[in-house]
Amino acid sequence: MKDRRIGLLGGTFNPPHFGHLALAESARERHKLHEIRFVITAAPPLKDAPDVAVEHRVAMVKVAISDNPEFAMEECELKRKGTSYSIDTVKELKGSHLGAEFFWVIGADQLEKLHQWKSAQELVQLVRFVVALRPPRSKAVFGGLAGHFSEAVIAQLRNDAIDMPQMDISSSDIRARAARGQSVRYLLPEAVRAYIEKHRLYVG
């Protein structure tokens, strides 16, 4: 749809948690996005592939976002073969959503590696990156981009940055806690926790 503003939040979502949801909602609100799509990665290029079946990750994202009509799931990377590259995803979505403006939401930790992404120079021209900064708000993280991107691109990244609610939650920590038999309640939606328990995911 023309003039539609679409946010993209990529990840393995292994599992999806409140940090992902808070990040998506913060970006949606700050940039007045019509929707946020959770782009489920099949084979991430910069880290190991998940050891949990993709069907489980899809199911967990589905229940995690079910109560928000402005959240949706995007499976285009799961349907493509090979490594999941953001540049391919953006080109595919722009081709099927003519006139829409896309915003790719990332954390400050991902920003440090942005120049390593495939076709990074082309990618930053095709999509606006929304960088989530943890409080206290610091834009010093953008200093490392000098020499990799133009001043205009860095200025745009600074301008589009958002404040991330303080939530010290990570998927790896949740997996580790579950493997040790510890509770993961209140770290992710109850429906996701119940799914993990039902299917005995991440158990040691």
Q: Which residues, 6+ apart, have CB-to-CB distance to 174 below 8 Å?
A: 15, 17, 184, 187, 188, 202
SS3 109: helix
Beta strand pairing call for 162-163 and 128-133? parallel
| Per-residue confidence (pLDDT) for residue 1, from 0 to 100 | 58
Task: Round to whole Å and give the CA distance between 185 and 127.
Answer: 35
Residue ranges and CATH numbers for the domains of the chain are 5-199 (3.40.50.620)
Task: Report CA-CA distances (Å) from 204 to 16, 141, 176, 187, 190.
Answer: 19, 37, 9, 19, 21
**39 pLDDT band (50/70/90 cuts)?**
very high
Q: Which helix (H) or strand (E) holds 110?
A: helix 108-111
| 137-190 confidence digits (pLDDT tens) | 566 788 889 999 999 999 999 999 998 877 889 999 999 999 999 999 999 999
Instruction: State the average pLDDT over residues 71-87.
Output: 93
| 106-146 confidence digits (pLDDT tens) | 998 899 899 999 999 999 999 999 999 876 556 678 888 99
Enter the tokens of residue 146: 């000098």
Least confident of 41-50, 101-110, 191-200: 41-50
